[in-house]
Each structure stands twice: as structure tokens, then as C-alpha cells.
Amino acid sequence: MIPGSQILKNFSIYIYRSTEKAVTGRLILRSTGAFEQARIKMLFDYLFFFGLTMLPMLFVLLYLQDYVNLAITASFVGIFMMCALAMSWGVGTAATGTITALNTLLIPMLSSFANDLDVSPIYAMPWMMACMLGYFAVNLRTALGLGALLFLYLGLVAYMKINHLAVFLPSSYSAPDRYVATPFLMVGYLIVFLRVWGVYYRNITRLEQKLTLEKQQQFSALINQNLTKQFLLLKGLSRSGKNEYLEGNLELLDACFSEIEKQCDSAIHFLDTTKKED
């Protein structure tokens, strides 16, 4: 009899793989290389696991009747779902990655502003992850743009705090609530971080190893091809030299020996060149 934990594990794997296939299938077929496939899977993992991490928050906020943060979090998850849907339609990682990164940056900014300009780790972590996603899913320019937006917002927060400018939105949670929620959110963020970029780097490492192995195999095949050609020539020349020796034609015999020496020098030079390239 299969234990309940194994059934749950198999069901979770089935849900994940089915969702991954539905979301990334069209993009994977259109991708031009293995590295692009790794990027597509990384973006899917980010959407899937970050959205999954936020789902319990929706129920907690609903239970606490914190409708402001409930609306913000629901918008956050909803945009993630729209990005996943866009990927399933074939929209590339540049567009969906940019929207996902902006969502991870701007929605927490809105929540931070609505909660008395809170810039604690529960907001700082998503902001950092947004910049990282912009870099890995799109390019460096996108990451720098997101970083510039973050810098401007933190500058605004600093200005308002220093000048004691009030936000006319009462914080929907107290300091004790934040202290209680922070450890759980940080664990969730850490799981997302390790899953998304840990698996991404593992896939990249495997791809690099595979490409290196393929290059070595191609190189070995080229060496074998050239050496086989050289040895076949030597075999033919040795037979010709033997025939010329038996017939007493010393001039042609000397020419055969010269050609054999030339082919040997060529083979040695080829092997020396390949060693230097290694």
C-alpha cells in the first residue's frame, strides 16, 4: 500500500509538470537553444512558486479582514497568472519577464506605501528578487532600470520619513503582526529563491558540461579522422616501397621513404597542435 505522503508527493509532481508543460510547451518548441529553454523554465518556476507562496497569504488576509492588503496581494497573484497565461500563448520571456519583474517590484511598493512606508525585509526581499529576475530573464538594462525605480522609491521614503510627512492611509497591520509574519514570509522567499535560481544554475551547469563533452567528442572524432587518413597513406606508401624494392627501383623507393617521412612529420605536427589547443 502506498503511504499518504508518497501519494501527495506524486500528485504534487504531476500538478507541477502538467502546469509546466501547459505554460512553457509552446515556447520550448520555438526556442533556439538549450540556454533559452533554461531561461523559460526559470521564469515559469518563478511564477509558479512565488504565486504558490502568496496563496496562503490570501487566506490569512481574508481571515484577518485586511481588505487593503488582500486586494494588493490578489492583484499580485493575478498578474502572475496572466503572465503564465501569456507564456502559454507563446509570448516570449522578454515581455513576460519584464512584466513579472515589474509586478514583483511595483505591487510590493504599493503595499509598502499603504502600510506607512514599510521597508522591512518582507518588502526588501521581493524588490531584490525583482531586480535579479530582470537580469536573468531579460537583460542587464532591465535590471538596472528596476534598480533605478527602487532607488527612487527608497529616496522618496527617506525624504518623507526625515521630513515627517504623513501617509494618509492607516497601516492595516501592527508592528507585532509584522514581527510574527516576517519569519514565515522570509522562509517562503528563501524557498522561492533557492528553487528558482538554484535549479537554474544547476541546469546551466549541466548544459555547459554537455556542450563541453560534445566539443570533446567532435574534437576526438576529428583527430581520429586525420590520423586514420595519415596511417592509410603510410600503409599505401609502405606497400609501394616494398614493391619498388623487389623490382630494384631504388629511386622510387627513396621517393616512397621521403613521402613516408613527410606524412609522419605531418601527423606529429598535428598531434602537437591539438595538445597546445587543449
- Give pLDDT, residue 233: 58
Reported as a pLDDT band with limits 50, 70 and 90, residue 77 is very high
Res 193 pLDDT > 80? yes
Reported as a pLDDT band with limits 50, 70 and 90, residue 264 is low
Q: Which of 82-91, 119-128, 234-243 has the lowest mean pLDDT?
A: 234-243
- Give pLDDT, residue 113: 87
- Give pLDDT, residue 144: 95
What is the rounded average pLDDT of the residues 136-140?
A: 90
Res 128 pLDDT > 90? yes
pLDDT in tens, 202-224: 877 777 777 777 777 776 666 66
What is the rounded average pLDDT of the residues 101-127?
A: 90
More reliable by pLDDT, 18 or 63: 18
- Give pLDDT, residue 246: 46
Q: Mean pLDDT, the chain, as a whole number? A: 79
What is the rounded average pLDDT of the residues 189-208?
A: 83
Q: CB-based contacts of 172: which residues, under 8 Å, 6+ apart?
A: 66, 68, 69, 114, 115
Q: Measured between alpha carbons, how far is 120 from 126 in angstroms, rounded to an integer?
A: 11
- Give pLDDT, residue 263: 58
What is the rounded average pLDDT of the residues 225-245?
A: 56
CA distances from 93 to 13, 143, 272 (A): 24, 14, 45
- Give pLDDT, residue 46: 93
Res 194 pLDDT > 70? yes
- Give pLDDT, residue 245: 47
Res 158 pLDDT > 70? yes
Of the chain, the percentage scoring pLDDT greater than 70 comes to 73
Q: CB-based contacts of 8: which residues, under 8 Å, 6+ apart?
A: none
Q: Measured between alpha carbons, how far is 197 from 43 in angstroms, rounded to an integer?
A: 10
Reported as a pLDDT band with limits 50, 70 and 90, residue 1 is very low
Reported as a pLDDT band with limits 50, 70 and 90, residue 270 is low
Of the chain, the percentage scoring pLDDT greater than 90 comes to 29
- Give pLDDT, residue 169: 64
DSSP for 131-156 reads HHHIIIII-HHHHHHHHHHHHHHHHH
